[in-house]
Structure 1
Amino acid sequence: MILDKQWRILTVGDGDLSFSSALHTHFSPKHLCASIYDSEQQLRNKYESHALDILTSHNVPVYTEFDVTHVDSWQRLIKHSFDVVIFQFPLVPGFTSKSEFDKQPLSINTLNRRLLRCFISYASQYALDPEGEMLCYVTSKDVKPYCEWDLESSLNHGLDIKYLGQSKFDIGQFGGYKIRNVDRDKHVKDTSGTTYVWSKKPNQALSSQLVIPHYLQNNHCPFCRVGPFMTDKDRDAHMNSKKHQAMTQHQNDWFRYLDTLKC
Structure 2
Amino acid sequence: MYLNPNWRILTVGDGDLSFSHALSTDLKPAKLVASTYDSAATITSKYADNALNALQDHHITVLDSFDVTDPQAWQRLNGELFDVVIFQFPLIPAFVGESAYRENTQTTSMNTLNRALLHQYIKYATSYALDNNGPMLCYITSKDVKPYREWNIEGSLNYGLASRYIGQMPFDISPFPGYKIRNVDRDKHVKDTSGTTYVFSPKETTELHNRLTIPSYLAVDSCSLCRVGPFQASEDKQKHLLAKKHQQMLGFEADWQAWLAQFNNQE
Q: TM-score range by the shorter chain?
A: over 0.9
Work out which of the residue numbers 183, 206, 209 in structure 2 matches 1:207: 209
Shift of 1:40: 0.6
Q: Is the 8 A contact 1:239 1:245 kept in 2?
A: yes
1:51-130 to 2 correspondence within 5 Å? 51-79=51-79, 81-104=81-104, 105-130=107-132
The 2-side partners of 1:209 and 1:10 are apart by 21
Instruction: Report the equivalent of 1:165.
Output: 167
Q: Give TM-score, length-normalised by structure 2.
A: 0.96
Shift of 1:70: 0.6
Equivalent position amino acid for 1:155 in 2: L
Instruction: Report the equivalent of 1:240.
Output: 242
Equivalent position amino acid for 1:247 in 2: M
Identity %: 55
Instruction: Report the equivalent of 2:5.
Output: 5
1:173-212 to 2 correspondence within 5 Å? 173-212=175-214
Equivalent position amino acid for 1:34 in 2: A
Shift of 1:80: 5.1
The 1-side partners of 2:74 and 2:205 are apart by 24
| Deviation digits for residues 48-99 of structure 1 (CA, Å, limit 9, x no counterpart) | 0000111001100000000001111001003251110000000012222332
Q: Is the 8 A contact 1:80 1:130 kept in 2?
A: no
The 1-side partners of 2:6 and 2:71 are apart by 27
Helix, strand or coil at the partner of 1:179 = coil
The 1-side partners of 2:183 and 2:206 are apart by 35
Instruction: Report the equivalent of 1:50.
Output: 50
Cα gap change, 1:124 to 1:80, in 2 (>3 Å): farther
Q: Is the 8 A contact 1:38 1:65 kept in 2?
A: yes
Shift of 1:190: 2.7
Gaps of 5+ in 1: none
Residue 27 of structure 2 corresponds to residue 27 of structure 1? yes
Helix, strand or coil at the partner of 2:86 = strand
The 2-side partners of 1:108 and 1:186 are apart by 22
Helix, strand or coil at the partner of 2:255 = helix
Deviating runs (4+, > 4 A) in structure 1?
none
The 1-side partners of 2:80 and 2:214 are apart by 28
Helix, strand or coil at the partner of 1:259 = helix
**What value does the CA root-mean-square deviation take over the aligned residues?**
1.1
| Deviation digits for residues 164-212 of structure 1 (CA, Å, limit 9, x no counterpart) | 1000000001010000000000011133100000001123431221010
| Deviation digits for residues 93-126 of structure 1 (CA, Å, limit 9, x no counterpart) | 2222332122232210000000000000000000
Q: Is the 8 A contact 1:78 1:127 kept in 2?
A: no
The 2-side partners of 1:99 and 1:185 are apart by 24
Gaps of 5+ in 2: none
Instruction: Report the equivalent of 2:144.
Output: 142
| Deviation digits for residues 191-239 of structure 1 (CA, Å, limit 9, x no counterpart) | 3100000001123431221010111001110010011212111111101
Q: Is the 8 A contact 1:9 1:84 kept in 2?
A: yes
Residue 239 of structure 2 corresponds to residue 229 of structure 1? no
Helix, strand or coil at the partner of 1:164 = strand
The 2-side partners of 1:194 and 1:57 are apart by 31
Aligned length: 263
The 2-side partners of 1:204 and 1:128 are apart by 14
